[in-house]
Structure 1
C-alpha cells in the first residue's frame, strides 16, 4: 500500500482570496482584481505524483478535519510571511497524533530559524525529491506541466478574462542579491516542450486562448523560448511573459510581426486576436547605481527603452519596483515615484526593500543596520523590517501607500481597458473586438472551483 501523503498551503479563514492587484493598488473607485485561487507548486506535485493529496487555502477547521484521517506525511508549502500560520498548523498536526513526518517546502522553508520544526526540508522544486517516496524517479526533463487556470476580475465579482498560467523554465541564474531563487533553484530547468504542448492543447480545448508565462526569466534558454513562442503561435494563443528587458528589447519587433502576419491561406490580416500581448519587467529602480548595488545586471536606460517599445506597439506593461534603499529619503522618493508614474504602466508592483533569509541582502542589511522585526507577517514586502537610516517604519508604509495611489490612479484601469479593445480592433477588426468580448462570457461560465481540480489524464503521464 502506498504511503498516505497530504500537502497543504497555509490555512485561510477569510473567504476572500488574496488579490495580487489589490495588494498593489490603493484605488477606492475601480481597479482590476487578480485573486490567487490555487497553489502552482502543489499542482505540479499532484500532476507528477498523483498519489498525493493536496489542500489549497483550507480553513483551519477543514485542515483539522483532513488531519483526523491520518497521514504518514503532512507537507506544508508556504511563503515567509505565512510562517506564523504554518507553525500553528504544525502544532495542530503534532498534537493530533495523526501525522507521521512533517515536511516543509517552497520559499518559506528556506528560513533557518524555523527549520527545526519540521522532519524534512525541501529546497527547490520537489517532484524529483518526493517521487522516491513512492518508488519512482522523476528527472527534470520528465516533469509534467499541470493545467493552471485563473481569471482577471473587478472587485464587483464580475470576471473579465480567463487565462492559463504556464512555466516554460523554472529557476533563475541571474543572482540578484535581494532574491531567494539563487538558493531555491539557481540553475534554470526547461519544462519539456511535449509537456508544454500538452497543456497548451488542454487550454485550447477548454476555450482558454490567453496564456501568461510566469517564468522568473523567460528567455533564460533562448532556443527553448523560441520553440515555445512557435507553439503558442501554432495554437493561436494570446500570450504575455515575465522577462529581462535586454531580451525583450530584441524580441518585441519579431513577436509583433508574428502577431500581425496575414493568414497564409487567404493573405488577409488575422480574423482573431492572437500573439504577443505584453510583458512584465523588473524595473526595480530608476537609478543605475542602485541597480548595480543589487546585482541587477541591467541598465536603467535599457529598461526604460524596453517599456517605451512595448507601449509603442500598444502592448501591456507590468513593472516591479523597489523603494527603501539605504540612501532613499522621503524627498527623493517623491521625485522617483513621480518619474515611475509617468511611465503609465498597466500594473506597477511597488515593494519596500525587504531582506529575505539566505540572501546577500539579508546579510548586508543585518550587518550594516540590523534587522529588528521578529514578526514574520511583516516580511511581505509592504513593511520596513530593518533599521533604515533615513525613514522610520511607519513613515515608510505611508510613503508606500502614497506611491501606490500615485502609480495606480483612477484612469489606470480605463487606460488599460481602452488599450486592449483598441489593440483587438487594430489587429483583427470587429472580429477581434467580438473575441475579446467573448472572454468575459467564457470566464463567467467556467468552473474555477470544481469538485475535482483539473489535471491531465493518467494516460498522458509518463
Structure 2
C-alpha cells in the first residue's frame, strides 16, 4: 500500500501582492502557514501535494486521502467552494487559517474539521482520527505552542520560480500592540512567544535562499530579542526584510544591527498621519510627528521603508487621501500600500461596528481591504473607495516614482524598482468600481480563538457569541 496523500491548497487570493504580474511571478508567496502545516505531517506516512491557486490550477481529480485548505476572510468563500467540490467526491476536508479559526461553525458547514488557531499541537490527533475514520469537528490545542522544537517548514514543496519573495521565516508569534482592527492578538496572543535563536538561524540556513522575509507580526517588538537574532545573522550573507512597528525602529543600535545583518527593507504599519485617529484604534505606539525623521533615519542606514496606511477611520474625511499621499511623497517613502479599514469578523472593530449597525456587507469576498463594507463616519462609502484608488494613482504616478528614486545612499535600487513597478501595475489591475452591495447578517457569530483581556471588549465578544452558544447547547441536548 502506497503512502497516503494530503493535498494542501491555498485558494486564489487575487490581491495586489499575489497576482503574477511580471515574468509570471507574484510579489509574495502566501504559503508560509501551509508550509508549516506540511512540516507536521510525517513524511514516512504521507505524501504532501501543495497547490497555490494564485499561480496554478487545482487538480480536483487528484486521489487524495485528505484535503487541507487555509483561508483568510477575503478568499474563504473560494475555499468553501473548493471544500464542497472535494467533499462531493468523497474526500474529507479540513480547514484552517484566520477566518476558519474565528468562524469555525460557519466553516464546518463546508468541511469535516476545522483547526482553530495553531496547527502544530493538534495535527497528530487529527491524523490519528483520519486513519481511524472519524476525523470531525474542532481541533484546538488548550495551550499555545512554546515555539521551541518546531519542525522545518517544507520549502521543498514551494514553486520558488513563481514568486519574488518566497521564503518566510517566523521568529515569534503574538503582538502586544493590540490594535482594534487586527486579528493577531486574538489569534496568537498579546504576549510575544520566541523561537530559540539557534533554531531560527538553522531554518534560515536550510531554507534554500539567502533572501528572507521575517514573518513576524512585529519583529522589533521588544528591545533586546531582535538584537539577539540580528547578531546571530551577521556575516552569513542574508538579505532580509521584516514587518515592525515604529517605536523601536527609532533605536539607532537596532537599525545599526539591522543594516549589519543584511536588512534591505522594513515594512511599518504607520496606518494614519493623524495622532487622534491612531489613539482611537489603540495604535498609540505611532507618533506621526516622528514619521518623517524616522524614514530619514532608516534611509541613513541603507534600508528602505515600505509604509502601510489605512483609510476610513472615524476621523478621516475626504481630505485624508491627498494629505497622506503628499506626505508620503515629500517624506520619500520607498513604497506604500493603502487599504480601506475592514472590520474583519472577530476583531474588536467588528464588534464595535456591528453593535452600531454600521456594517453593510457580510460577503466575505468583499473583505479584501479594497472594497468598502461599512458606513464610514465622515465620508460617503463611494468617496472612500474612490479616494483609495486615487491614493495609489498619486503615489505610483510616473512623476512620484521619479522624484522618490534613491539616487543617493545605500538602499537597494533593484529592490526599490521591483516594488514600485509591481505595486504600480498591480494597483492598475484592481477591478473595484463600487462599494460592496448590502447583504443580510450571517447566522453564525465569530468566536476569537483567544478572548480579549480588556473587560469591556471581552464582554462585547461574549454578548455577541452567547445566542449562538445557547442555540448550540440546546441542539446538543
Moved more, 330-339 or 135-144: 135-144
From the superposition, tell whether residues 38 and 81 of structure 1 become closer, same or farther in structure 2 (CA, over 3 Å): closer
2:39 to 47, 59, 68: 47
SS in 1 for 2:322: helix
Distance in 2 between residues matched to 1:3 and 1:258, nearest whole Å: 44
Q: How does 1:176-187 map to 2 (within 5 A)?
A: 176-186=179-189, 187=191
> How far off its partner does 1:405 sit?
1.5
Q: Give the paired residue count.
A: 392
Partner of 1:363: 351
Partner of 2:204: 200
Partner of 2:118: 125
> How far off its partner does 1:105 sit?
0.9
Contact 2:17 2:26 in 1 (8 A): yes
Q: How does 1:59-74 map to 2 (within 5 A)?
A: 62-66=58-62, 69-71=63-65, 73-74=66-67
Deviations 1:170-212 (A, max 9, x none): 2323211100112211143222323222222235xx5x43322
Partner of 1:218: 219
Distance in 1 between residues matched to 2:25 and 2:397, nearest whole Å: 15
Q: How does 1:45-444 map to 2 (within 5 A)?
A: 45-51=37-43, 53-58=48-53, 62-66=58-62, 69-71=63-65, 73-97=66-90, 99-100=91-92, 102-109=93-100, 110-111=102-103, 114-117=106-109, 118-134=111-127, 140-146=147-153, 164-186=167-189, 187-202=191-206, 206=208, 208-250=209-251, 252-256=252-256, 259=259, 275-298=262-285, 299-410=287-398, 418=406, 422-423=409-410
> How far off its partner does 1:310 sit?
0.9
SS in 1 for 2:315: coil
Distance in 1 between residues matched to 2:198 and 2:224, nearest whole Å: 15
Partner of 1:444: none
Partner of 1:448: none
Contact 1:21 1:347 in 2 (8 A): no
Deviations 1:346-365 (A, max 9, x none): 11111101100111100111
SS in 2 for 1:143: coil
Contact 1:148 1:165 in 2 (8 A): no
Contact 1:7 1:42 in 2 (8 A): yes
> How far off its partner does 1:398 sit?
1.3
* Higher share in helix: 1
Distance in 2 between residues matched to 1:333 and 1:19, nearest whole Å: 19
What TM-score do you get using the length of structure 2 for normalisation? Answer: 0.71
Deviations 1:399-440 (A, max 9, x none): 111101122222565677645x95179xxxxxxx9xx89xx9
5+ residue gaps, structure 2 = 130-140, 419-477
SS in 1 for 2:371: coil
Q: CA RMSD of the aligned region, Å?
A: 3.8
Partner of 1:36: 28
Contact 2:255 2:298 in 1 (8 A): no
From the superposition, tell whether residues 275 and 131 of structure 1 become closer, same or farther in structure 2 (CA, over 3 Å): same
Distance in 2 between residues matched to 1:61 and 1:259, nearest whole Å: 40
From the superposition, tell whether residues 145 and 4 of structure 1 become closer, same or farther in structure 2 (CA, over 3 Å): closer
From the superposition, tell whether residues 413 and 304 of structure 1 become closer, same or farther in structure 2 (CA, over 3 Å): closer
> How far off its partner does 1:132 sit?
3.1
SS in 2 for 1:215: coil
> How far off its partner does 1:255 sit?
3.9
> How far off its partner does 1:126 sit?
0.9
Contact 2:12 2:75 in 1 (8 A): no
Contact 1:145 1:195 in 2 (8 A): no
What TM-score do you get using the length of structure 1 for normalisation? Answer: 0.73
SS in 2 for 1:330: coil
Partner of 1:451: none
> How far off its partner does 1:297 sit?
2.5
Deviations 1:43-72 (A, max 9, x none): 011123244524322489633112xx242x
Contact 1:40 1:148 in 2 (8 A): no
